[in-house]
Amino acid sequence: MVQQAIPEGQATPRAYDIAKIRRDFPILNRDVASGAKLVYLDNAATSQRPVQVIAEITRFYRDHNANIHRGVHTLSQEATGLYEGVRETTRAFINAPEAREIVFTSGTTEAVNLVAHGWARKFLQPGDEIVATELEHHSNIVPWQMLRDERGIELKFIPMLADGTLDMDAARELIGPKTKLLAVSAMSNALGTILPLEELVPLAKAHGATVLVDAAQAVPHMPIDVQALDVDFVAFSAHKMLGPTGVGVLWGRFELLDAMDPFMGGGDMILTVTTEESTWAEVPAKLEAGTPNIGGVVGFGAALRYLDELGMDQVRAHELDLTRYALARLGDVPGVTIYGPDNAEDRGGVVSFSLEDVHPHDIGQVLDDQGVAIRAGHHCAQPVMAALEVPATARASFYIYNTRDEVDSLVSAVEATSRMFGTG
């Protein structure tokens, strides 16, 4: 991924003080289950929120609560300013050219569906091809299947190799003159695999294809520069990067957003309405119908500022250290199989694994009894599970506040699970 410079006027990255960071997350101090201290390792599903984000949301509802873009009174003007300010903060965070290219959605899922309904449905024709990968989250598969069935579009998938990486030989075969859209994750939520966008994007562009990147797992964990990536759409969610649920982002090149049809009709996305017809407002309002999650967006701004102050290069370095350590420690546990790339550098802070003769749900339950929160299941990535020939995996995923001691707790809990079930 491309390094992102700290935007002008924003804080220089502070030293990575893990003790100070953890103090910003009171939930990490609570006891769970049978009195065990919480070890939260389910960050690929959703992150925790620091006190700064919680305070910003509270402050909005306490001091500024009003609807936006429609009122001339003080509260409405303040709320509008705060909301639109986060649009600029988001632009800077991913180095987008213009703030008007930032569309707020309810999450990555809505952002991908917005492209499917507003762009692909309008511009793709029967016989055109969409290429995705077997490593995709269901949110970047199901909308394209629905469009395929409706419009007669061909949908192809680049297969995954046994080590959890992408089959680039197959990618070069599948991406061709009929490819109109490449829909690809930047990082697999199930395995942590970092997909080679630096190879995939030029392949697609050489055939004039549009590129959509599901960056839900990448934007929270590493520097992302949408201009350097040379892609056309990027989707991600606030709740995986310290922000509230119900907020997401679609970045798109202005000319593509401007050409799209609205996904929903209603208030604030119109220019004029008569009983005979309506005309649309300019981007991004055209694509943001109705009252948005204003307080959530304001809270997301605080999350972005928090990550900017840490520095995304430092976030990546911290998670890389934890991932290396976890791969080594878990790899020494008898009966454990780890899925995904062998090298920590080729994956994000995600370690999916199984324990011989123990269902992942049982692993998750036993670990929870010891205070260790992981995810067990297919992770909304059933094609990945099919390629691995397993029904599910256990998944530990790390973020800015996790420590090596917590990895040790994970390993101890897995070892206890092995003893309980008599495996290894």
Angle (nearest 5°) at CA 90 between 136 and 213: 20
What distance in Å separates the CA atoms of residue 212 and residue 116, rounded to the nearest whole number?
10
What distance in Å separates the CA atoms of residue 97 and residue 254, rounded to the nearest whole number?
9
| φ/ψ bin of 206: left (φ > 0), alpha (ψ from -120 to 50), beta (otherwise) | alpha
| φ/ψ bin of 397: left (φ > 0), alpha (ψ from -120 to 50), beta (otherwise) | beta
Q: Is 380 a catalytic residue?
A: yes
What distance in Å separates the CA atoms of residue 56 and residue 34, rounded to the nearest whole number?
33
What distance in Å separates the CA atoms of residue 242 and residue 308, rounded to the nearest whole number?
12
What distance in Å separates the CA atoms of residue 179 and residue 194, rounded to the nearest whole number?
22
Please identify which of the residues 6, 38, 54, 380 carries the catalytic annotation: 380
Name residue, tokens 């030029």. 202
- Burial group, residue 8, by CB count within 10 angstroms (0-12, 13-18, 19+): exposed
Report the first-to-last Cα separation within the chain, whole angstroms: 38
User: Are 261 and 251 contacting, i.e. CB atoms less than 8 angstroms apart?
Assistant: no
What distance in Å separates the CA atoms of residue 104 and residue 296, rounded to the nearest whole number?
10
Cite the active site residues: 380
